Amino acid sequence: MTRAHRVAVLGPRATRQGLGPWFARAFERAGAEVVAVAGRSQAGVDEAARGFATTYGHEVRGYVGLRTLLEAEPLDCLVIASPNETHEAALELALEHGVSVLCEKPMIWPARPERAGELVAGFAQAGLLLQINTQWPFTLPAYWELYPAMREQPVSRFRMRLSPTSLGAAMLPDALPHPLSLLQALVPGVGELCDIRVVIDADETEAHVAFVYRAGERRVDCDIELVRCVRQPRPAGYGINEHFADRTVELPAYALRFLAANGQVDVPDPLDLLVADFVDALASGRTPKNCFSPVERIRMLGQIYRCATARS
């Protein structure tokens, strides 16, 4: 019998928008085993470890500090679900210890494309997987089911609506990796942005981002609407060439659907799909699906953020 992949989660609680519990659930569903968690306080990691152990029916050990965990636990994968400012140091430690990584977006923040490129190259040279959690491209098969004719049409316009929990310019690194990853999936080639416009309202609860996305000879006019929402389910959706699909969430089952004027389709949980594909890639040695360049995304995200903050 094949051994289950051993996974640890850095940032296992949902205290700061964190997805730690949902990552753990997705890895367990994919046949991996969450064996350890790490955080900043003993009380926090003990609570998370007990909760995971109860939920998944096996021992989960808790560690204060990632280095302590990595020195104690042989791992196949580290999930970095901690706040953005901790990602760079965590990636460095994982690379030092020879562990593949699934990292929460946007990989490194503030945006440092050069350092991101060095880390990406380091993981590749070590034969380790590094993927960033940008799961929205995994919803495209459901979108094509809703709008089958759109699959063969060139993309000329893209819209997306998201509801981050953060405020003001902080909404940009929280939310924009999603539309940027969809554009990377829809328009192959190295992406470039021009004509960037960012408007953040006075109370910092809404932002509108517009830009032109270019890849090769392709040009896509893009509009992104961000409206703060702190409660689940948070509204979201996207549209290609004027064909918009609203993403709805039915709680507590967390059943996802796309709704449009011409009908509706169920949407498999894209986080589950991303993690299951990542686990399969670990086993087979292949590159994960939808693993588009995080360095390009960080570069483009930095452009947008600088535009927003220069005008604030």
Structural domain of 142: 136-273+299-310
pLDDT at res. 2: 64
Question: Do 23 and 84 reside in the same domain of the chain?
Answer: yes
Question: Do 164 and 39 reside in the same domain of the chain?
Answer: no
Residue 278 lies in a domain: no
Question: Do 174 and 92 reside in the same domain of the chain?
Answer: no
| 111: amino acid identity, one letter | A
Question: Do 76 and 11 reside in the same domain of the chain?
Answer: yes
pLDDT at res. 263: 94
Structure tokens belonging to residue 232? 């689940």
Residue 291 lies in a domain: no
Rounded Cα distance between 12 and 41, Å, is: 12
Structure tokens belonging to residue 64? 């204060």
Domain end residue (candidates: 47, 81, 104)? 104
Looking up residue 213, the CATH number of its domain turns out to be: 3.30.360
Tell the burial category of 160 from Cβ atoms under 10 Å away from its Cβ (0-12, 13-18, 19+). Answer: buried
User: What is the tens place of the pLDDT at every residue in 29-65?
Assistant: 999 999 999 999 999 999 999 999 999 999 999 999 9
Q: Give the β-pairing of 6-10 and 77-80.
A: parallel
Contact status, residue 78 vs residue 90, Cβ threshold 8 Å: yes
CB neighbours of 202 closer than 8 A, spacing ≥ 6?
A: none
Rounded Cα distance between 85 and 78, Å, is: 17
Question: Do 256 and 160 reside in the same domain of the chain?
Answer: yes
Which residue is it, tokens 């007990």?
A: 50
Tell the burial category of 137 from Cβ atoms under 10 Å away from its Cβ (0-12, 13-18, 19+). Answer: buried
Question: Do 144 and 265 reside in the same domain of the chain?
Answer: yes
Rounded Cα distance between 187 and 9, Å, is: 33
Looking up residue 55, the CATH number of its domain turns out to be: 3.40.50.720
Residue 288 lies in a domain: no
Question: Do 144 and 88 reside in the same domain of the chain?
Answer: no
Q: What is the pTM of this model?
A: 0.95
Residue 110 lies in a domain: no
Residue 249 lies in a domain: yes
Helix axes 20-29, 42-56, angle to 10 degrees: 30
pLDDT at res. 16: 58
Q: What are phi and psi of 218, to 5 degrees?
A: -90, 140
Question: Do 240 and 169 reside in the same domain of the chain?
Answer: yes
Query: What DSSP state is assigned to residue 18?
Result: -
Contact status, residue 213 vs residue 155, Cβ threshold 8 Å: no
pLDDT at res. 251: 86
Helices (H), the chain: 20-29, 42-56, 66-72, 87-96, 113-125, 140-146, 171-175, 177-186, 270-284, 294-310
Name the domain count of the chain.
Answer: 2
Question: Do 63 and 155 reside in the same domain of the chain?
Answer: no
Residue 40 lies in a domain: yes
Question: Do 41 and 176 reside in the same domain of the chain?
Answer: no
Question: Do 93 and 222 reside in the same domain of the chain?
Answer: no
Residue 305 lies in a domain: yes
Domain end residue (candidates: 89, 104, 119)? 104
State the number of CA atoms in the 13 A half-sphere of 244 facing the CB: 10
Residue 130 lies in a domain: no
pLDDT at res. 230: 86
Q: Give pLDDT < 70 ranges for the chain.
A: 1-2, 15-17, 311-312
Rounded Cα distance between 223 and 210, Å, is: 5
5, 21, 75, 91, 161 from 99: Cα distances, Å: 12, 20, 6, 9, 35
Question: Do 151 and 252 reside in the same domain of the chain?
Answer: yes
CB neighbours of 231 closer than 8 A, spacing ≥ 6?
A: none
pLDDT at res. 15: 66
